[in-house]
């Protein structure tokens, strides 16, 4: 696991490394060892005498970077051959139109479950391509929960079901809840047979085990758990990559990228290169008898546990936004008793060496984003800071 050379404590000033704990929702923090490698490779990658950002996207050096990125991504999830991995641009937001444009004929509906801001955006944009159905929503309680399976009124003739597995702004996540207990494992909507599931996994991809064979298409902006802003990873099943819901320009078709290793034109070489480093870092968490994503999941549950314990143990000083069984492992949303105390919390946290904690305007309060690269030491230090803040200001 990555640790900071000198981790700031609850009352720390900036450590000698000059780096502080970054709880930003995205772009989020990157692993230290990845950042160190980038420093070298931007100057001169692999002894080539040329930095990674200056190499031709059709040259040998980038060929290797790209091939390894594809291979390592597939290794992490044991992705079967009938799925393509694509590195696209335009952010996760561009998938809001690419998905319906490619997969949904004008007069065939697609089912959308809206559990937050980004899922609502996806629904809104899909309307440009004709009929859509909002089959369940958590809007009635300001997106503080995930609708039960029985609330999802699927259309058996839908082109796909779209949902967002982790709601970055509201701090809720789809989990399997068994006998009232949160397993922290992925819950996937039970779409009717033959209806592909499309998931926006931008803010929780590879934070826990994932079985892509349950999905038709998954997309994730890289800037949280996979790397740096500039590329969006799409995992798409063969039959959907070639589906032609309508005539489209080449650069809007998934198949253009599937056929040409994601480089029909100059791809975002820097962002793909960084994803490649992060994929290797993820793989390194695996041991002889444990899969890397099992290890990361356990770590992420523990990390989130420190901060949720600080919320629950504050005798009502902190209030979480998400219902307990829908709590996100990645984005933890909470507030103080007053907006004035929220402001003071963020200010004092800044002085103590924590950044990026101000919540989104939709929820107010605070949000601690704790992606894979956030070390456990950062989560513990934040929890300790929260306990002290509640004691002093409660």
Applying CB under 6 A, the residues found at the interface with ligand PMP are 26, 91-93, 118, 164, 168, 200, 202-203, 221
Residue 224 appears among annotated catalytic residues: yes
Judged by beta carbon, residue 168 or residue 207, the one nearer ligand PMP is 168
CB of 389 to ligand PMP, least distance (A): 27
Report the chain's C-alpha Rg in angstroms.
Answer: 21
Report strand pairing: 232-237 vs 217-221: antiparallel
In 10 A of CB 226, how many CB atoms?
25
Indicate the residue among 26 and 147 with the shorter CB distance to ligand PMP: 26
Cα separation, 94 vs 276, whole angstroms? 22
Q: Which residue's CB is nearer to ligand PMP, number 26 or number 189? A: 26
Residue placing its CB nearer to ligand PMP in the complex, 23 or 118 = 118
Q: How far is the CB of 217 from ligand PMP (least distance, A)?
A: 14
118 is catalytic: yes
Would you say 269 or 390 has its CB closer to ligand PMP?
269
Task: Tell me how far, at minimum, the Cβ of 118 lies from ligand PMP, in Å.
Answer: 4
Query: What b-and-e string marks burial along 198-212, b requiring 16 or more CB atoms within 10 Å of the CB?
Result: bbbbbbbbbbbbbeb
Q: Of 41, 72, 111, 200, which residue is the catalytic one?
A: 200
Q: How far apart are CB 228 and ligand PMP at their closest, in Å?
A: 11
Catalytic residue among 41, 111, 204, 224: 224
Residue/partner pairs of 309-314 with CB below 8 Å, 24 or more apart: 309/383, 310/382, 310/383, 310/384, 310/386, 310/387, 310/390, 311/386, 313/387, 314/386, 314/387, 314/390, 314/394
Q: Kindly name the residue from 104, 118, 243, 281 that is annotated as catalytic.
A: 118
Nearest distance, CB of residue 340 and ligand PMP, angstroms: 27
The dihedral through the CA atoms of 148, 291, 301, 180 has a sign that is: positive
Catalytically active residues, by annotation: 118, 200, 224
């Amino acid at each position: 696991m990555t640790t900071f050379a000198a981790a700031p404590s609850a009352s720390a000033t900036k450590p000698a490394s000059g780096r502080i704990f970054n709880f930003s929702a995205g772009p989020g923090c990157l692993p230290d060892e990845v950042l160190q490698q980038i420093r070298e490779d931007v100057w001169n990658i692999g002894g080539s005498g040329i930095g990674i950002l200056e190499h031709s996207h059709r040259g040998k050096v980038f060929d290797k970077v790209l091939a390894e990125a594809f291979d390592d991504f597939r290794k992490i999830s044991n992705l079967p051959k009938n799925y393509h991995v694509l590195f696209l641009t335009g952010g996760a937001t561009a998938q809001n139109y690419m998905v319906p444009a490619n997969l949904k004929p004008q007069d065939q509906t697609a089912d959308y479950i809206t559990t937050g801001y980004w899922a609502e955006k996806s629904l809104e944009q899909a309307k440009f391509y004709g009929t859509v159905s909002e089959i369940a929503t958590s809007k009635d309680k300001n997106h503080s929960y995930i609708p039960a399976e029985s609330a999802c009124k699927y259309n058996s003739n839908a082109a796909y079901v779209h949902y967002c597995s982790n709601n970055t702004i509201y701090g809720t996540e789809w989990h399997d809840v068994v006998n009232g207990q949160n397993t922290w494992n992925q819950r996937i909507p039970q779409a009717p047979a033959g209806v592909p599931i499309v998931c926006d996994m931008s803010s929780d991809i590879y934070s826990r085990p994932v079985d892509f064979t349950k999905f038709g298409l998954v997309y994730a902006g890289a800037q949280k758990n996979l790397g740096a802003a500039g590329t969006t990873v799409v995992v798409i099943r063969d039959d959907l990559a070639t589906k032609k819901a309508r005539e489209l320009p080449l650069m809007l078709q998934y198949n253009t990228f599937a056929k040409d290793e994601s480089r029909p034109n100059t791809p975002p070489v820097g962002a793909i290169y960084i994803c490649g480093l992060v994929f290797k870092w993820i793989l390194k968490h695996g041991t002889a008898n444990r899969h890397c994503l099992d290890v990361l999941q356990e770590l992420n549950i523990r990390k989130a546990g420190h901060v949720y314990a600080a919320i629950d143990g504050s005798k009502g000083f902190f209030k979480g936004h998400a219902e307990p069984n829908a709590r996100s492992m990645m984005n933890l949303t909470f507030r103080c008793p007053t907006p004035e105390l929220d402001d003071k919390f963020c200010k004092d946290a800044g002085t103590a060496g924590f950044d990026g904690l101000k919540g989104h305007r939709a929820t107010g309060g605070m949000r601690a984003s704790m992606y894979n690269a956030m070390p456990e030491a950062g989560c513990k230090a934040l929890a300790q800071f929260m306990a002290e803040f509640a004691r002093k200001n409660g």
